[in-house]
Structure 1
Amino acid sequence: MEHLISLVHAISLLVAITSALVLSGYLALNLRLPRMGLWPSASGWRHHTAFGLFRLFCGATVVFALSEVWMNGWGHWLRYVIGVPVMLLSFGITLWGYRFLGLDNTYCESDGLVTSGMYAYSRNPQYVTSVLATVGLGIASGSWVTLGLAATLFVIYFLFVLNEERWLLQGYGQAFRDYMQSTPRFVDERSLIRVRDAIFD
């Protein structure tokens, strides 16, 4: 059993790193050559390539983190007290975001520019919370490598965002420019002020 877990541990890390590198190159290529239309793409091989690599990375990261716990032991209880709530709350907010953005917009359709709800605090709130969920996973698993994969996830999301912003500017023009001016790409002091105002007003 230990040999099998060790093999899963090594393969999952290799898959996570490889898929991250390929996906990052794919997104960087689209930044350089946007006419290729690699991302965003609502359907076809381009869509399945990007989402397939992304899901492969995320799945491999989870498997790696769980195998870290199996191989290294449960560790100190405090890491679960901190990591599990961060992971669950962040992932819950990520899922909640579908309510505002909608599944079609999430998967690269153009069903209207969403600027309300959680999108009033960040232009990419689900990306922020997905990274935080992975940080929580890294804390809970006691894995510095998983925390490194959380940082890798942020880089991937940043490449997604750069491609998506150009696409949104083409699709929504001035409305998206105004949104870019008023709302941070990820999170800044404006996000915190708006959260405070929403709680205390």
Structure 2
Amino acid sequence: MGDLKTVVLVLGCAANLLLVAGILWSMFQPERRVWPPIHSTGAHKIVVWGLTCVGFGSAIVLALLEWGELDFPWIIRWGLGLCLIVLGNAVVWSGVMQLGMAATSGDEGVLRTRGLYRFSRNPQYVADMAILIGIGLLSASILAWPVIITGVTALALAPFAEERWLIDRYGEAYRGYLRTTRRFL
């Protein structure tokens, strides 16, 4: 394994594992949580977005450096992988527009239950997971998968850290939403 690949792999996994650690901390120490932040600051956003970008960026770099290392069929790579990336991006950016960039970054916003949020309480997380999996499938890269798996783990855990905070903020309105809308799909 080349030095660049090793560095990118370690950086990507480390960034994602730091996100996982922060999310787990937030789940078990909600009064001292880091996600969603107790007080959203510019520094907090830089750390969270920085780690997220390092995780996603590392998956992309490894995907490009190891393009086609695995023998995935064409239909898996270009049919499913590319579809997940395109559809995931469409959902993520639609969710950002519906929720707003500030709320996407951890600021308190308005409870959204329409649009994409009518079908999933966490469409942006689901879409981000689809993008990462799509990158792995399209690129057929071996080394991208540890970064993808740790990234998907962080994205899958994040809603569990958020739900108590959302109940505290929106009370019965959010409890009703919990009963009628699935967490993921």
TM range (shorter): 0.7 to 0.9
In 2, Cα distance between equivalents of 1:145 and 1:9:
8
Secondary structure at 2:102's aligned position in 1? helix
Equivalent in the alignment of 2:109: 111
Instruction: Say whether 1:177 aligns with 2:169.
Output: no
Work out which of the two has the higher radius of gyration on C-alpha atoms and give 1 or 2: 1
Secondary structure at 1:143's aligned position in 2? coil
Q: Deviations over 1:122-157 (max 9, x none)?
A: 000111111111111111111244345433223202
Greater RCO, 1 or 2 (C-alpha within 8 Å, sep 6+): 2
Distance 1:159 1:87, change over 3 A: same
Within the candidate set 17, 30, 35, 2:26 is matched to 30
Equivalent in the alignment of 1:7: 3
Distance 1:160 1:75, change over 3 A: closer
Distance 1:75 1:24, change over 3 A: closer
Gap regions ≥5 residues in structure 1: 188-201
Secondary structure at 1:173's aligned position in 2? helix
Equivalent in the alignment of 1:190: none
8 Å Cα contact 1:90/1:133 also seen in 2:
yes
Aligned identity (percent) is 29
The structure carrying a bigger helix percent of its residues is 1
Range with greater deviation from structure 2 (32-41 or 132-141): 32-41
Per the TM alignment, residue 169 of structure 1 is displaced from its structure 2 partner at its CA by 0.8
TM-score normalised by L of structure 2: 0.86
Per the TM alignment, residue 27 of structure 1 is displaced from its structure 2 partner at its CA by 1.8
**Equivalenced residues, count:** 182
Matches within 5 A, 1:28-177: 28-41=24-37, 42-69=40-67, 72=69, 77-78=74-75, 79-177=77-175
8 Å Cα contact 2:56/2:132 also seen in 1:
no
TM-score normalised by L of structure 1: 0.80
8 Å Cα contact 2:62/2:141 also seen in 1:
no
Per the TM alignment, residue 37 of structure 1 is displaced from its structure 2 partner at its CA by 3.4
